[in-house]
Amino acid sequence: MRRTAVPRVRPGRRKAFQRRLLAWYGRFRRDLPWRRTRDPYRILVSEIMLQQTQVERVIPKYREWLIRYPSLEALANAGRAEVREAWYPLGYNIRPVRLRDIARAVVRRHRGRVPASREDLLALPGIGPYTAGAVLSFAYGQDAPILDTNVRRVLRRVFLGDRTAPRDRLLWKLAEALLPRGNAYDFNQAMMDFGATVCTARRPGCPECALAGLCASYPLTAPRTAARGTAGLKSHDVKAVVHEQDHPRDPAGQRAAQEHRRIRNLRRVRVPAQRRARLHHLEDAAETLHRPRGGRPDRARRDGVDPDAAGA
């Protein structure tokens, strides 16, 4: 690998990167419990738990932990052995002790409020630049960059090429330069999701990648699977694929996208024209059946609501 300098990113390329990444995130983001809160304590707990641990293992422990220690104060009063025991089986048992020490420092130095400045966060025990950036952007909505393993990999591959070994200092600058002002929350979450699910370390999904046209490393891999037909798939799954492709922006399309992800490799399904035409024909027929004579389609009935009750 060669050392390299971070390139200047032209505004057009930066904008295209932001736009494509955020559009991808809008469709495929993961629904994670710590994305439903802006509470700095909860964000902090999730970030410490996620260090070196897979999301699936963290989710149940995150919920359990917050029941046992619902606030910084509750955690600050806990003993060392107790927090280690509560952390089991996540591993790396120094982490719960660090988290407890952070809680104590916040209570002592900041009256129980997690600080909103990088300087104050970095002065807390066990908080480094990544965790500080995560708290600032996820809890306080500040335009703060982050750089974890996933983000590092995406930035390197897209802007520098896979065979480079840039210094972290340069990648931090790149991460900061790419941040869309006022939207660091979504952008940072998108970068992490993208690195965890598409631009993965071992099997990046280059053939279907939303950033392929901008990526200096494309293509790193051949298709994960060849596109396949619809034989063997249930008709509601085929319907989900067609609906999502036809209506990528509407809420039903979003629901279809979830369905789409639920089934392995459905993204690679190619719906034969004949089957697609038949589905459209059936939809049209259903709509005609529920259309009042001379009027617009009856929305209440189409949405499965009893029209009498809806009009009452």
Angle between helix 235-246 and 273-289 (nearest 10): 80
Shortest separation between residue 10's beta carbon and ligand SF4, angstroms = 18
Listed ranges 83-91, 134-142, 164-172, 204-212: which one lies at the site for ligand SF4 (CB under 6 A): 204-212
Give me the residue label for tokens 């917050």: 66
**Which residues are known to be catalytic?**
47
- For 291, the token pair is 């259309």
257 contacts 28 by C-beta, under 8 angstroms: yes
Q: Which of 45, 136, 198, 240 is in the footprint of ligand SF4 by CB under 6 A?
A: 198
Give me the residue label for tokens 């995130």: 25
Examine residue 150 and tell whether it contacts ligand SF4 (CB under 6 A).
no
- Between CA 154 and CA 161 the distance in angstroms is 10
Examine residue 209 and tell whether it contacts ligand SF4 (CB under 6 A).
yes
Q: What is the DSSP string of 249-293?
A: TSHHHHHHHHHHHHSTTGGGB---HHHHHHHHHHHHHHHHHTSPT
Listed ranges 22-30, 94-102, 217-225, 237-245: which one lies at the site for ligand SF4 (CB under 6 A): 217-225
Listed ranges 107-115, 129-137, 140-148, 209-217: which one lies at the site for ligand SF4 (CB under 6 A): 209-217
Shortest separation between residue 231's beta carbon and ligand SF4, angstroms = 29
User: Total residues contacting ligand SF4 (rule CB under 6 A)?
Assistant: 14
Examine residue 9 and tell whether it contacts ligand SF4 (CB under 6 A).
no
For ligand SF4, give the closer residue by CB, 80 or 203: 203
Nearest residue to 175 (alpha-carbon basis) of 197, 153, 193, 196: 153
Q: Which of 50, 104, 204, 266 is in the footprint of ligand SF4 by CB under 6 A?
A: 204
Examine residue 160 and tell whether it contacts ligand SF4 (CB under 6 A).
no
Examine residue 166 and tell whether it contacts ligand SF4 (CB under 6 A).
no
Listed ranges 127-135, 198-206, 229-237, 239-247: which one lies at the site for ligand SF4 (CB under 6 A): 198-206
- Between CA 29 and CA 38 the distance in angstroms is 17
142 contacts 120 by C-beta, under 8 angstroms: no
- Between CA 44 and CA 102 the distance in angstroms is 10
- Between CA 21 and CA 100 the distance in angstroms is 36
Shortest separation between residue 215's beta carbon and ligand SF4, angstroms = 3
145 contacts 192 by C-beta, under 8 angstroms: no
Helices (H), the chain: 11-28, 40-50, 55-68, 72-76, 80-87, 94-110, 118-122, 129-134, 149-155, 168-178, 184-197, 235-246, 251-262, 273-289, 299-302, 307-311
Shortest separation between residue 184's beta carbon and ligand SF4, angstroms = 20
Examine residue 20 and tell whether it contacts ligand SF4 (CB under 6 A).
no
Examine residue 151 and tell whether it contacts ligand SF4 (CB under 6 A).
no
Q: Which of 90, 147, 178, 211 is in the footprint of ligand SF4 by CB under 6 A?
A: 211
For ligand SF4, give the closer residue by CB, 203 or 270: 203
Q: Which residues would be at the binding site for ligand SF4 (CB under 6 A)?
A: 157-158, 198-199, 204-206, 209, 211-212, 215, 217-218, 220
